[in-house]
Amino acid sequence: MNATARKFLVATGAVGTQWGDEGKGKIVDWLVTNDGYLICVRYNGGNNAGHSVYINDRLIHLHFVPSGIIHPAGLALVSAGEIIDPAQLINEIVYLRSQGITTDGRIIVDPRVTVITLLKRLIDMAKDFVRGRDSGKPIGTTAKGIGPTYAARADRSGLRLHQLLGDQDQLQKLLEQQFTEDLRYLKAVLELSDADLAELLTQLGKKDQAANRELIEAGLRSPEDFDYRSMFVANTTFNIERLVDFYLEQAAFLPNYIQIKDVASFVTEHYLAGERILFEGGQGTHLDIGFGSWPYVTSSHPIAGGATVGVPFGPTLLTNVIGVAKLFTTRVGGGPFPTKDTALAELIQGMPGQPGAEFGTTTGRRRDIGHFDAVLVRSAVLFSGIGELALTKLDFLDELAELKICTHYLLDGNPLYLMPPDPTDLERVVPVYETLPGWQTPTSGIRAFEEL
């Protein structure tokens, strides 16, 4: 292909530049609606990520499904770099349909995605509990099974979608083998009793019941659908046979909700045909498994390079990367946070007209809040080759008389302009601020850059 033809091909990545929760879903929705990106691809993570988008003043929550589904003509693709929980993916699609969003034929999932199972979620919860008990520093996992599922994929022992939808006899044997191994790990390595497992199942069921509250209120699901203790514990003993039957049922239901296609070839084919492709990252740069503030990170690659290996998509074909950043910084879960400021947090959390401001879409946990950290964003630009920056939530700072911007850190008296490679140094840095006057005028109605 010659250079003249090549310049008309557009593939853009949307990457969070902080610790997630930057407003990527809203930026993706704007690009799909206004800039012609009708093929939207998630390239990492699972339902530990949550994107929120408004439709006619209704707030829509997304977890597995890319934000492009909001546009009536958009296609939402789940690549092999993402992982899925079949039951929760079905619940999300049922929820989207209940909100008037048509999904038939518009959600495409790669058969190579790895499947999250209930026992992987139990392992996720149990390991973080043990970690917190032994070290006093839990990661703050979302209990979605993300880490154990990615670990199983790397160990070549995970369950893939093509296996879930394959021969039923082989699937049953595979599930029995995997569940037996997972149960052995929970009991022998993490030293959990049957009573412990039953309690974890109760907690997990309550989390999922809360997450699916709108479906329950609409009569599309019942609380009993999330009573995992009753479903999978018989005579105080975890019942593997019941769990196997549950996933055999999911295998039968899932094809009614999604299309299964090779996402990699689909994306490249449509890209070469001149269609605009948008790659949507979950979480944020500094939760990256390799380059984030380890160990308080996710289990995948939110950076732009995650798209090239998660879809996969040739790195030379990605024409632009848009970084998304809030004008302040937030973090949920554990880990160091140099610019954290409780006074700023109280102001933002208490803003009128912003009910539920700065609570996690996926977990509902209150986010810690701090000043804008240019070290985080500068590092994200470096890691992902970001060419444009989309700034969100200016209106949250409308009332401030002044803004504090962290320009760099001091570590043992030495300036740092990029994130330190040793994440323990992040606990010792001192942020250096530049103070700017606030604008103290409403910005929420502004729709043009010139009006700022």
Q: What residues contact 272, with CB distance under 8 A and at least 6 apart? A: 9
* Positive or negative: CA dihedral 137, 129, 150, 262: negative
Closest-CA residue to 19 (of 431, 372, 320): 372
Closest-CA residue to 74 (of 43, 112, 31): 31
Choosing from 51, 63, 286, 408, which is the catalytic residue? 51
Choosing from 21, 124, 288, 368, which is the catalytic residue? 21
Which letter does DSSP use for residue 222 in this model?
A: -
Q: How many CA atoms lie within 13 A of 365 on its CB side?
A: 19
Q: What residues contact 224, with CB distance under 8 A and at least 6 apart? A: 230
Closest-CA residue to 153 (of 84, 50, 201, 90): 84
Other Cβ atoms closer than 10 A to 146: 26
Q: Which residues pair with 392 in a beta bridge?
A: 326
51 is catalytic: yes
Which letter does DSSP use for residue 113 in this model?
A: P
Check: CB of residue 204 under 8 Å from CB of residue 85: no
> What are the b/e assignments for 371-404, b being 16+ CB within 10 Å?
bbbbbbbbbbbebbbbeeebbbbebbbeebeebb
The CA distance from 31 to 27, in Å, is 6
The CA distance from 85 to 208, in Å, is 12
388-392 and 320-326 strand pairing: parallel
Chain centroid, CA 153 distance in Å: 18
Give the helix ranges, DSSP H, for 185-320.
194-211, 213-217, 228-232, 240-253, 263-272, 305-310
57 is catalytic: no
Give the tokens for residue 83. 């992982």
Catalytic residues: 21, 51
